Amino acid sequence: MNLKKIKLSSLFIILNTFVLFTSVLFIEEIYKLQFSESEYFKNQALSNRQKVEVIEAKRGSILDREFNEVSETINAFNIGIYPEKIDDKELVSELLAPLLQLDKAVIFERLNNNKNYFYLKRNIDFETGTKIKNWNYKGINVEKSSKRIIYSDSLTQIIGHVDPDGNGIEGLELYFDNSLKGTDGELRYEAAPNGDFIPQGKSSILDPVHGEDLILSIDSELQYISEDLCSEALQITQAFKCSVVFMNAENGEIIISAEKSSINNKYFDINLISGRALYEPGSALKIFTVGALLQNDEINENDTYYVEDKIEIIEESCNKTYEGLKGCYRDFLKHDPYELTVREIIERSSNVGTIKVTEGSNVSEIESYLIKFGFGNKTGVELTGETRGGFVDYKSCLTCLSS
């Protein structure tokens, strides 16, 4: 009997100890929740309720030299789809196809093959997006977006493009992306489980910093006229490509940079457009070459030279039987031999005269002057893909810097 009482008493003690221990743990947790760790749990609860919405910064506009807007960002919409929420996928495909200019079968296939949320089409125009939004159709999410448009087709190559997220990927849009895109803001607020705004909850707003506008030196009207004339010239001459570049020589501003390629031109290379091409300066180099010699007092502008209409650098190279590619150099027009001063040689852009003036000159020394003039460097016109110039390695070339 006493043994039984002892067992019951021991069990009672163990039970009381367990209850007491559990109570202590419970009280400790309550204390943490209410006092020592209350701030942590409060923040945890707040983070579960807090929502963040991005306030998109507006991308800066691009204007021509007369402050005409040639590219800007306008309001648009993205069409997102929750496939599992759409009951009649065939009907939705039929309704969206004409508005989004997509094939009905393609839409239907994407609705059936995707289980997760996806964008059916991005950056559609505001009017179309508003129409779809007003349907309030379950499973179709119409979210605000923006769309970049270019008003001047003749400036498309220069301005370039942005991706669907509004980031510059080509042309001036890429080169000045950091200045144009600005910095997004954000709205933070407390929301109920259904996503509704809690009026008494905490909220804060960080205003966006909109992008800066970009003003070009280009005259969009002259640019358009130049491209139109290029199109006409390509048709008449059957040439592959036409380029027109017009610069203000006093300050280096590019007023026109027009490009046109023949529609049937299978030889067109994007690296041949004026902003990227490497090409010989041609007769323009005569001024710099002769200028270097004048600066170095190696010649005088009144020095005279006997100038024929052609000159042989390689013997017999001007004969019709000569099969080489180079060696004979001619002036643009045939003429009888005459004496010309250095000034007259430049005025008439005489290839033969310039070769005679520069005979015996140190090519490397002339190159050093050309580098001071900016040859071999980028121009600073701020176009993507521009390549720097270079000089020939063949330093004994007698004509490379002459014509």
What is the rounded distance in angstroms from the CA atom of residue 229 to the CA atom of residue 367?
37
Low-confidence ranges of the chain (pLDDT < 50): 41
pLDDT at 357: 93
Same domain, 163 and 302: no
Phi, psi for 71 (deg, rounded to 5): -155, 135
Say if 245 falls within a structural domain.
yes
Same domain, 266 and 290: no
Residue 59's nearest CA partner among 211, 215, 214 is 211
Q: Which domain holds residue 307?
A: 284-373
pLDDT at 392: 72
pLDDT at 315: 84
Say if 393 falls within a structural domain.
no
pLDDT at 136: 92
pLDDT at 26: 66
Kindly list the distances between the CA atom of residue 206 and the CA atoms of 179, 183, 203, 210, 319, in Å, as whole numbers in the listed order.
19, 10, 10, 12, 79
Task: Determine how β-strand 168-170 pairs with β-strand 161-162.
Answer: antiparallel
Say if 257 falls within a structural domain.
yes
Half-sphere exposure of 263 (CA within 13 A, CB side): 3
Residue 173 in 3-state DSSP?
helix
Count the domains in the chain: 3
What is the rounded distance in angstroms from the CA atom of residue 281 to the CA atom of residue 401?
10
> What predicted TM-score, i.e. pTM, was given to this entire model?
0.68
Same domain, 334 and 246: no
Q: Model confidence over 366-385: pLDDT tens digits?
A: 888 889 988 888 877 777 77
Same domain, 296 and 356: yes
**Per the structure block, which two tokens stand in for 7?**
């067992």
Same domain, 76 and 207: yes
Say if 148 falls within a structural domain.
yes
Say if 44 falls within a structural domain.
no
Same domain, 61 and 100: yes
Same domain, 80 and 202: yes
What is the rounded distance in angstroms from the CA atom of residue 299 to the CA atom of residue 346?
13
Same domain, 251 and 294: no
By the 8 A CB rule, do 239 and 272 touch? no
Half-sphere exposure of 250 (CA within 13 A, CB side): 0
Say if 387 falls within a structural domain.
no
Kindly list the distances between the CA atom of residue 293 and the CA atoms of 282, 322, 369, in Å, as whole numbers in the listed order.
18, 33, 9
Same domain, 160 and 187: yes
Say if 110 falls within a structural domain.
yes
Q: Which CATH number do you get for residue 348? A: 3.40.710.10
By the 8 A CB rule, do 292 and 364 touch? no
Q: Model confidence over 290-315: pLDDT tens digits?
A: 999 999 899 999 999 999 999 988 88
What is the rounded distance in angstroms from the CA atom of residue 112 to the CA atom of residue 90?
10
Same domain, 112 and 248: no
Exposure string of 272-301, with b = 16+ CB inside 10 Å and e = fewer, is: bbbbeeeeeeeeebbebbbebbeeeebbee
What letter would DSSP give residue 342? H
Same domain, 295 and 260: no
CB within 8 Å of 12: residues ≥ 6 apart? none
Half-sphere exposure of 123 (CA within 13 A, CB side): 11
Q: Which CATH number do you get for residue 112? A: 3.90.1310.10
Count CB atoms within 10 A of the CB of residue 350: 26
pLDDT at 379: 79
Same domain, 263 and 288: no
Say if 66 falls within a structural domain.
yes
pLDDT at 284: 86
pLDDT at 22: 72
